[in-house]
Amino acid sequence: MKNIILWFAVMLLYACSSSKNTGDKWIGMSKQNLIKSWGTPVRTFDNAENGEILVYADQVYEKDKDRDHDSRMAGTFYWNYIYMYVDKSGKVASFRNEKQNFPPQSIDSYKLAGMNLLTVK
């Protein structure tokens, strides 16, 4: 019985820790460690006097409910973005998650840098 309770407690702690936002653990870490772990960002922007913004993006396809489940055609899609804000010292200062319909190539660097979004959202 003790083993079952212990196992349940460990699983509960694991579930709680894995449900945290992926950017939380990177606050204060170095840019080099982030790139080693996540790979090269799809875009990088100069953030004026604040440092730089690393943009990571994943294209997500939703399954079309009207089509046959064996269809090889992709349904509608969107982009999951993670903006990692790196300060002048090379440390991750904050991050922001965003879901959009536009590809990374269409991100306006001047608008993004001028927003001063160095807050976690």
The whole domain housing 36 covers 21-114
**Residue 110 one-letter amino acid:** Y
Residue 16 lies in a domain: no
Residue 35 lies in a domain: yes
121 residues of the chain, pLDDT tens digit each: 555 554 444 444 444 444 356 778 999 999 999 999 999 999 998 887 889 999 999 988 876 666 555 555 555 788 899 999 999 999 999 998 988 888 887 787 666 655 555 443 3
Q: What's the predicted TM-score (pTM) here?
A: 0.66
For tokens 């939380």, the residue is: 24
Q: Supply φ then ψ for residue 120, to 5 degrees.
A: -80, 130
Count of structural domains within the chain: 1
Instruction: Give the CATH number of the domain where residue 76 resides.
Output: 3.30.1450
Is the backbone of residue 28 left (phi > 0), alpha (psi -120 to 50) or beta? left
Distance CA 49, CA 47 (A): 6
